[in-house]
Amino acid sequence: MHLYKDQFSESHDLPRREGPDKTLVIASTPRCGSHMLGHTLHQTGAFGFPLEYANPENLREWKRRIETESTERVIRELTQRRTSPNGVFGIKLHYTHINVLGGFDRVQSFFPGAHYVL
């Protein structure tokens, strides 16, 4: 198994839902242990699968797989695929990912009322 490619596997998709009731944003920095945190939270079954969906390389791959150029469409699709049964979607965002998503106002529009963990 190739760990990078594994994050895109449909085996990590959860039962499809319209979208999250709550969003957890892990506001992290590179090399801080957030990758391990995301996987640990995923194992609980209560926080979706918090990964770096806005990492430019990952976002490009999601756009390719979903067959869209729209970042908004990718985020919508991910929230439908990766929200846990209790209604929580998790995402990891490094500071540089905010610009990839179009700035903090746009992040807030993608994830209204999100809970941020620093």
Query: Per residue in 41-67, pLDDT tens?
Result: 999 999 999 999 999 999 999 999 999
Percentage of the chain exceeding pLDDT 70: 97
What's the whole-model pTM score?
Answer: 0.92
Rounded-to-integer distance, Cα 59 and Cα 12, Å = 17
Q: Work out the average pLDDT over 9-38.
A: 92
In the prediction, which pLDDT does 35 show?
87
- Scanning the structure block, which residue is given the tokens 């085996």? 11
Helix (H, G, I), strand (E, B) or coil at 115: strand
Residue 33 has pLDDT above 90, yes or no: no
**Minimal CA–CA distance to 118: which of 22, 23, 26, 24?**
26
In the prediction, which pLDDT does 1 show?
56
In the prediction, which pLDDT does 68 show?
98
In the prediction, which pLDDT does 114 show?
97
In the prediction, which pLDDT does 56 show?
97
